[in-house]
Structure formats: structure tokens, C-alpha cells
Structure 1
Amino acid sequence: MPLVTTPFGFASTAAEVAAGVDLTGRRAVVTGASSGLGAETARAVATTGASVTLAVRDPAAGERVAKEITAATGNQDVHTAHLDLADPASIRAFTAAWQGPLHILVNNAGVMACPERYTDEGWEWQFATNHLGHFALATGLYEALAADGSARIVSVSSTGHQQSPVVWDDVNFAFRPYDPWLAYGQSKTANVLFAVEATRRWADAGITANALMPGAIYTNLQRHTGGRGSGRVPADLIKTVEQGAATSVLLATSPLLDGIGGRYFTDCNETELVDRRSGTLHGVARYAVDPAGARRLWTLSEDLLAATAVR
């Protein structure tokens, strides 16, 4: 299967990718949209005329961003809703309150390399927030997504997925020493595997899901990693927030992606498969797009969440 290529690249911005796209009458949800990439993604999607809901932990911050987006785009149909991806009850409340079809779901929110922490369910914090929360959100919104007939899910992953596959026998670091980067890598691998299996499992409903690496961008995500002074990425590979949101917006809005799912993109183009760590920001590990692994993760995720359903 040939790699998907587009006219856009490393330096493209979210606004450039969304230019000329008309999504009037369609509805989008962007998680983690109160700052950084999420806010810029929501802003670019709003320029297409779509109704946009900012799903955020801090509603006050979300309201400020929503007002800024309306002022900048003229789109009056920008809203805020509370969502805590580490809290299954919060996710159930969000999905229960949603009414009508949903055309675009951007699973953008996340945490990176944070200190060891666990949810009340005993789930490792990064796996719980980055993967399980978004899994619960997407499956909880399935009927709304299926109602559209051509809905899209965007799963924001990272080249950090090359740090670790999903360690099936110990996803919650119950037996191995906690390592913040291995935990992050595992959660980002899960983001890609989700896109693979969602596309396969929900094909009859016309739902497609793709994953992406946004690039190296300085946002609040780096609060635990030293931020701008960490030196982990060469300066010439650092993107602006506007550039970093471009690939998410491409996957969410562009007609170039109609009917395409289960792929992994970097710099607005599908990236190559790798069997060793690439040493660059490109490349998707074979284990991250493995169909058998994707099915196994889906079952594991359902089993973990099933225990919370009665709470």
C-alpha cells in the first residue's frame, strides 16, 4: 500500500491546511483544547465553519479560549465542556450529555513523562490519560460518530512511541520499576494501535481513524521534561504551535484523507515503517501498527474499563 502524500510538509501551518475547507453543519470535539496544540487545532477547525466543542479539564480556561476563537474566526458555534480523561465518571458524563451526530473527534489531550502516579483504579497515569481515557471517549461516542457515515477520529501520538511497545503483562508498572519515558512511549504506541483497530472495527459505519506525530513543539506538555532548555531536540526541528497543529488539522478536515484510516502521519504525510528506533522524528514502529496487537489492546482496554462501569 503506497504511503499517503500531500502538498503540505514540515513548515505548513494549521491555517494553511484548513484554508478553503468548508465544514459548515459538521460538529467537532477537540480534547485538551484550552492551550497549546489543542487550542490551535480547535481554532483552525473553527475556520472551516464547523461547530467545535473544547473538551477540557478546566472549563474556565476553555471558555477563555473559546471566546478568543470566536473573536478570531467569527464562528459563534464554539463551546466548552468539562472532561477529565483520567476519570471514567467524567467521561461517561460527557458522552451521555452529547446529543446528535459527531463528525470529527480529535484525541489531542495528553501528559508526558510525568512522575509516577496512578488513578483510583490503579492505572498508570499516562496510559490512563493518553490512551484509556480517549478509548472510553471514542467508544462512548460511537453512536454519534456512526450517525455521520464518514466520521473521522484523530489520535495524537508521538515519535516517543518508539520508546516502548505496549507491555501486555505489565501496562501499569506493577512489577517493573517505573520509567516516565517508557510509560509515555507505551501510551503513545497505544494511540496508534487504537487508530488501526478503530478503522478496522468501525469500517461498516464509515468511521476512519489516523494517528500522528505533531512534531517537537514547546507547550505545557513539557512541564515535566525541562521544557525549552532540555535540549532533547535540535533547534532546527522545533515547530511553532501553528505548525505543530497542522497534521492534526489535515487528518481532521482535509478531503485528501477521505476514506483513509489506520495510518500514521508526520509533517502532514504518512511516514515510513521502521524496525529499529529511527533516531529522527519520523518513522512508525512495526509493533505500533500491528493488527493483532491492535485487537489485543482493544480487548484489554474494554476489560479494564468494564470494571469501572458500575461505579
Structure 2
Amino acid sequence: MKKNNIYYNTKIESLLKAYPNSKFFLITDDNLFSLYQNFLTTTFANVDLSITTIPEGEKAKTIKEYQRVVELLIKAEIRRNDVIVAFGGGVVGDLAGFVAATILRGVTFINIPTTLLAMVDSALGGKVGINSEAGKNLIGAFKNADKIIVNEQFLKTLPQQELINGYGEIVKAAFISDRTIFSLLTDDQPSLKLIKKVQKVKLALVKSDYFDKNKRQYLNFGHSFAHAIEKESNYQVPHGYAVFQGMEIALKIGMVLKITTPSDLRLLEKYFSLYQIKPYQKPYFKLLKYLKNDKKNTQELTTLILIKERALIKTMKEVELDELLSLASEL
């Protein structure tokens, strides 16, 4: 990842001057386009701009939608020196980034995250991709954004649910690496200080393990279960809410293994109460079939991230995980 490629509260127009001979292909979702059409028209007024919209939500991260977008851009005569811009949350960034990574074997990518979740997590680290019928983010690539433009003004229009989605990733970062983050968490608008502190956690792990073979996997705390919960619900459970539920399951498994202390579970429950998150209601073993396709698994082993003061990696056989899930459900 390029150093110093994150820009805070910077005028987008000034950053576009770095690409004087490029056409800009902006990808956003239908809802954001209706909210920000005038803003986008004004911001990109002095460049050659083409806008493509996609459906809102995870239903856009499909092979069919990916192909539709690629074909539209090819028909619009995109060239290798052009720039794809993502304007939106995690779904928009994932899909647009994957298009940028693959069309013409790769073009320049700019990410303008508009949600808290994207600002603190999905816009960072270079992972882009789409879902398969078997699970979430199973088709993808590594593609660093040339520029990531973080502007606090976009957070002011977010509904509470979208803020809570981001808080799931923020609480995760606090558990795995920096517990001073907890002191900055409230139910108010997040501060730029908080955003930067959470970004620092992710960027440090990405720098140490870009291709996700070791310590970068700490960032998946709660996510194996979260992705299973999302898939089981046909993506009706928002990602951040699923992360909260997934962290609870992971902490309980850690308690069964006598790795995690009950105080950590009580700490998480504090944020369940603050953000009005409901625990996962079904027996945990029902998630097992969705865990089989998790990207972090190797051969017959399932990889989980557990907490012992900070994060650690634990691998286990499916039969062992099945038993642990049953025991954890009883806590």
C-alpha cells in the first residue's frame, strides 16, 4: 500500500489534477447517486466523467453485476490510463475495486468511502472482490487504491444503522490490538481522531502481512461467523451487526477453551447494549455449514481468531469446532 495515500477532508477536485490525461469512470449505488448527484456533477465538472450506478447492498456483489459494469465500461472505451472511482460504502468499493483490478488487466483506482465502515476498514488494505453462491468475498483480488479520500461530511447523512455497521469494525480493532480505542467510543458522531486510530491498527497489520497469511488474519476476529450469519440470512443482517454477533460467538469459544476471560465478553455486551445489538439467536452449530467455505481455512482445518488480551490464531478440525459451537451456545 502506498505511503500517505489517505487524504482527510481534502477537496476532491484538487486531487483529480494528478491525472490530467485520464477519463474518470465513477461507480456508485442508486441511492447515493440520488443523494449526491449535484455534488458529483460539481466536483467532477472539470474532468471527463462517466457515472455507472449499481444496486444498493450485497446483491450488487455478483458475477452478473460485475460483468454488466465491465461491459458498460468497455463500451464507453475505457483505456489503461483512465481512472475508476468508487464513491460509496464497502459494497461499492469492493465491486469497483475488483473491476479496476481486472479490466484491461488493471487501471488506476481511487476510493472515496462514504460510510464509517468503509473509512475504518474496507477501503484500506487492498482487498477487493465479489460474492459467490457459496459465500461472501470468495472471488477477488488485491488492488490498492491510488488515493483514499476520507471526508467527514459524508458521515452526517448516514442513518444510525450505517454508523453501527462501522462501530462493529471499530470494536473489533479495539479487541485485537488497541484497547484505548474503547475510550473514544460513544453513540455520537465518530471523531476523525477515532477514525485515524482504527485505521492505524489495520494499516499496521496490512503492512506486516499484506497477503493475509499470518497476522493480518487478526482482522478477521468475529468475521468467519459474521460472514456465515450474513450468508444464512441472505444478507438481511447488515455486516457490522453480524460482526458484533460473530465476535460474541468467538469470545464464547475462547471462554470454552479457557483462552478468553469473562470480562471480555462483558465488555462486548456493553456495546451490544449501547448500540442495541441483538445476539445471534439460533444454536451456533447451525453456522457450521457456512464456515466450510471460509477463505482462511486450509485443507481440513478451520481458522479462527480468538482473544487473549489481544488476538491469536487458532486452527481446529471441523468436528472439534462443531463441539465447541455447541458448548459456546450454552454460555
TM bracket, shorter-chain basis: 0.3 to 0.5
More helix by share: 2
More strand by share: 2
- The structure whose Rg is larger is 2
> More relative contact order in 1 or in 2 (CA 8 Å, sep 6+)?
1
Structure 1 length-normalised TM? 0.40
Structure 2 length-normalised TM? 0.38
